[in-house]
Amino acid sequence: MPSPHPDHRYRSPSLAASVIIIAVINLLSAGAAWCDSDAARQIIQLAERIDQEIESQNADRLPRQTLSDAGYLRRVTLDLAGRIPTIAEIKQYEDLDLPDKRLQVTTSLIQSPDFAYHQRNELDTFLLRPLNHDREWRSYLLEATKENRPWDSIFREIMTPEETQPEDLRPTAFLKHRLGDLDKLANDSSVIWFGVNIGCAKCHDHPLVDDWKQEHYYGISSFFKRTYRSKKGLIGERFDGKVKFDTTSGESKDADFMFLTGTKVTEPELSLDAEVLKQYQEQIKKAEQDDAAETPPQPLFRPRQQLVDLALSDQQQRFFAKNIVNRTWARFFGRGIVHPLDQIHSGNPASHPTLLAILTDDFINSGYNVQRLIHAITLSVAYSQALPMTESDSPSHGENKLENQSDRGVRYFQHAEPRPLSPHQLSLSLLIATGNPEKTAEQISNPDWEQDRGKLEERSEGLAQKLEIPGENFQVPVSEALWFSNSSEMQNQYLGGGKDHLVGYLNEIEDPSAIISQAMFATLGREATSEEQVVLSKYFEQRNEQRVDTIKNIVWALVCSPEFRFNH
């Protein structure tokens, strides 16, 4: 809080920090009671199983290094809350002297409103975002993530919205935005829900993967062939319609309703007479064109619903569960246990098959509880490993050796892999980093934080939509660097000198080294190294006359650093 006395224009940073700590202390205590529960103990056990399995594959005894408290907090806050931690959160965590403080902080984060929002953003990016930004759909996802809706329920709601929530059009977006392209609908569904990219098996049996034949491609397509959307926005299925395809030997075939595991669904004979069928077909056609038309009847045999039932049946559910477990793992490690993520097949074995099996079993037994899986992962020692050491730090020298180690280290999860922030993570973190840290800390500790987080999401949307969604081989595009370097939003809004901004806040502090220290904490969540202190102090000294601009430029340089851009 700025002092009204002109003589006390500059405040002590340590005082500021202590004020913040008092303000946010409740955050950590929120989950304290839960940490003693059975559920917590099971999660801790699962985390231990993860570490046993990871360790068992570390035959080379690769050197490992665990993150510092501040490093862990930054990583886990980005991963669970979708934003960087505030200065206050870091100080508080560092000062906390408890053996289970990771359990405490992960629990608090998972229970915080931030988690549901972040989880929503992640799901949206995974399921729809590259195709469309759909606000209604996002509100549906938020509702689901707030109550930790089980993954099988979400699957059902999205893939058969007409069965689960006929009045609610929001979950139809997944199908709606893909309905124009059967190939895309079928392959996206296969990739997203089952981790199987069958695109390559369209024109011939998959050239590299024995598992995937043309029959699989058209088998999956068959389940979607009859799906239509009425003008009103309701999803339905037609009474007839088969996928036909030409085999490589030139034979024309009707595709079976066949799941990726080879299991087929037999369609019962349609017991409608031709007149009635024709009438229904016309009714459907009308419903597709006219929003006043009445909703056509549903056929008894509905292939898309059959697919969902089949995928969740006792015999097939592991296939379905394994994919989301693998994808969730990859979110936190930058790499799947089976990798690439859309290549789950016999020719591409898991790096840690037992681990994948343990996690899949637990996931199914816990009722498809994504939150539990995430919690266990973030509590594992494997998750808290640092980036690989570079040559100068590494005990063993020699380029090849280092790279081989590094490669294996990534493959066997012995150390961390930097992960680019998602558009939302970056946009939100930029808002947090460049905002007034005291005000932000106060806001987060406030009971209204859930609402404020919603507002923060809105504010982050503009930039998030400009940024590229990181894919498998993400490279920071130059358009992003140009935006950070030259956009008026960056210069005038994020780096504004007013009291709501970090620049204005730092400008109230007298001592340059305190400014540097606070700027480092606000942006990178750590103290400046002595080298950085030297560089930044020198920069400060050289530009004594232009104090605000100097601070702006320092903050800019920090938020434009690779250290800020990645989760590491």
Partner 1 sequence: MANHADSGHPKQSDSLDRRSMMRLMGSASGIGLAANMNQITALGESRLNDQLRASGKRVILLWLAGGASQLETWDPKPGRPTGGPFAQIQTTVPGIGISELMPKMSTHLEDTAIIRSLNTKIADHGTAYELMDTGRVKEAGVDFPHLGAILARELGNIESKVPDYVSMYTSTEGRRKGSAGFLGGRYNPMFLTDAMMPENIQRLESITDTDHRERAELRDTLSKLFARHHSHPSFEGHNSAYGRVRGLMASDYLFDIEREPESIRAQYGPTQFGQQCLVARRLVEAGVPFVKVARAWWDSHGQNFETHQELCADLDHCMSTLLDDLKERGLLENTLVISLGEFGRTPSINGSLGRDHFASAWSCTLSGCGIQGGSVYGKTDENGNTVVEGEMSAGDLYSTIFAALGIDHTKEYMLGSRPIPIADFDSTPCYSILT
Nearer to partner 1 among residue 212 and residue 319 (C-beta): 212
Token readout for 369 is 């509880």
**Binding of residue 518 to partner 1 (CB under 8 A):** no
Shortest CB 89 distance to partner 1, Å: 22
Main-chain phi, psi angles of 37, to 5 degrees: -80, 170
Shortest CB 247 distance to partner 1, Å: 18
Torsion sign (Cα): 46, 47, 50, 51: negative
- Number of residues in contact with partner 1, rule: CB under 8 A? 72
Report how far residue 87's alpha carbon sits from residue 214's, in angstroms, rounded to the nearest whole number.
55
Q: Write the interaction track for partner 1 spanning residues 71-90; mark x where CB under 8 A is met and - where it is not.
A: --------------------
The secondary structure of residue 494, as a DSSP letter, is I
**171 upstream amide cis, omega within 30 of 0:** no
Shortest CB 142 distance to partner 1, Å: 28
**Binding of residue 391 to partner 1 (CB under 8 A):** yes
**Binding of residue 568 to partner 1 (CB under 8 A):** yes
| Residues in region 420-439 near partner 1 by CB under 8 A | 420
**Secondary structure class of 264 (helix, strand, coil):** strand
Q: Which stretch binds partner 1 (CB under 8 A): 49-57, 96-104, 226-234, 338-346?
A: 338-346
**Binding of residue 219 to partner 1 (CB under 8 A):** no
Report how far residue 242's alpha carbon sits from residue 519's, in angstroms, rounded to the nearest whole number.
62
Q: Write the interaction track for partner 1 spanning residues 134-173; mark x where CB under 8 A is met and - where it is not.
A: ----------------------------------------
**Binding of residue 191 to partner 1 (CB under 8 A):** yes
Q: Out of 200, 234, 272, 312, name the contact with partner 1 by CB under 8 A.
A: 200
**Binding of residue 215 to partner 1 (CB under 8 A):** no
**Secondary structure class of 207 (helix, strand, coil):** coil
Q: Out of 115, 194, 301, 566, name the contact with partner 1 by CB under 8 A.
A: 566
Shortest CB 468 distance to partner 1, Å: 5
Report how far residue 117's alpha carbon sits from residue 428's, in angstroms, rounded to the nearest whole number.
11
**Binding of residue 541 to partner 1 (CB under 8 A):** no
The one-letter amino acid code at 466 reads K
Nearer to partner 1 among residue 188 and residue 438 (C-beta): 188
The one-letter amino acid code at 467 reads L
Q: Which stretch binds partner 1 (CB under 8 A): 136-144, 250-258, 277-285, 560-568?
A: 560-568
**Binding of residue 417 to partner 1 (CB under 8 A):** yes
**Binding of residue 297 to partner 1 (CB under 8 A):** no
Report how far residue 31's alpha carbon sits from residue 371's, in angstroms, rounded to the nearest whole number.
15
Nearer to partner 1 among residue 353 and residue 562 (C-beta): 562
Residue 490 neighbours by CB distance under 10 Å: 18
Cα separations in angstroms, 178 against 128, 174, 203, 328: 9, 7, 21, 24
| Residues sharing a CB contact under 8 Å with residue 224, sequence separation 6 or more, in sequence order | 182, 185, 186, 189, 303, 304
Cα–Cα nearest to 450, from 124, 102, 120: 120
Nearer to partner 1 among residue 197 and residue 378 (C-beta): 197
Q: Out of 265, 387, 504, 537, name the contact with partner 1 by CB under 8 A.
A: 387
**Binding of residue 398 to partner 1 (CB under 8 A):** no
| Exposed/middle/buried for residue 321 (C-beta within 10 Å: 0-12, 13-18, 19+) | buried
Under 8 Å between Cβ of 79 and 119: no
Shortest CB 40 distance to partner 1, Å: 33
**Binding of residue 390 to partner 1 (CB under 8 A):** yes
Q: Out of 208, 276, 300, 548, name the contact with partner 1 by CB under 8 A.
A: 208
Report how far residue 106's alpha carbon sits from residue 329's, in angstroms, rounded to the nearest whole number.
16
Token readout for 241 is 């319609």
CA–CA–CA angle 6, 12, 16 (5° rounding): 105
**Binding of residue 527 to partner 1 (CB under 8 A):** no
**Binding of residue 410 to partner 1 (CB under 8 A):** yes
Q: List the beta bridge partners of residue 236.
A: 228
Shortest CB 339 distance to partner 1, Å: 9
Q: Pairing state of beta strands 566-567 and 419-420? A: antiparallel
**Binding of residue 562 to partner 1 (CB under 8 A):** yes
Under 8 Å between Cβ of 193 and 155: yes
Nearer to partner 1 among residue 337 and residue 373 (C-beta): 337
**Binding of residue 1 to partner 1 (CB under 8 A):** no
Token readout for 267 is 């369609």
| Residues in region 443-502 near partner 1 by CB under 8 A | 468, 471-488, 491-492
**Binding of residue 535 to partner 1 (CB under 8 A):** yes
Cα–Cα nearest to 55, from 356, 373, 355: 355
Main-chain phi, psi angles of 345, to 5 degrees: -160, 170
**Binding of residue 403 to partner 1 (CB under 8 A):** yes
Q: Which stretch binds partner 1 (CB under 8 A): 167-175, 265-273, 302-310, 531-539?
A: 531-539
**Binding of residue 418 to partner 1 (CB under 8 A):** yes
| Residues in region 259-278 near partner 1 by CB under 8 A | none
**Binding of residue 553 to partner 1 (CB under 8 A):** yes
Token readout for 74 is 């930054």
Q: Out of 269, 393, 458, 545, name the contact with partner 1 by CB under 8 A.
A: 393
For tokens 């020719």, what's the residue? 347
Shortest CB 563 distance to partner 1, Å: 5
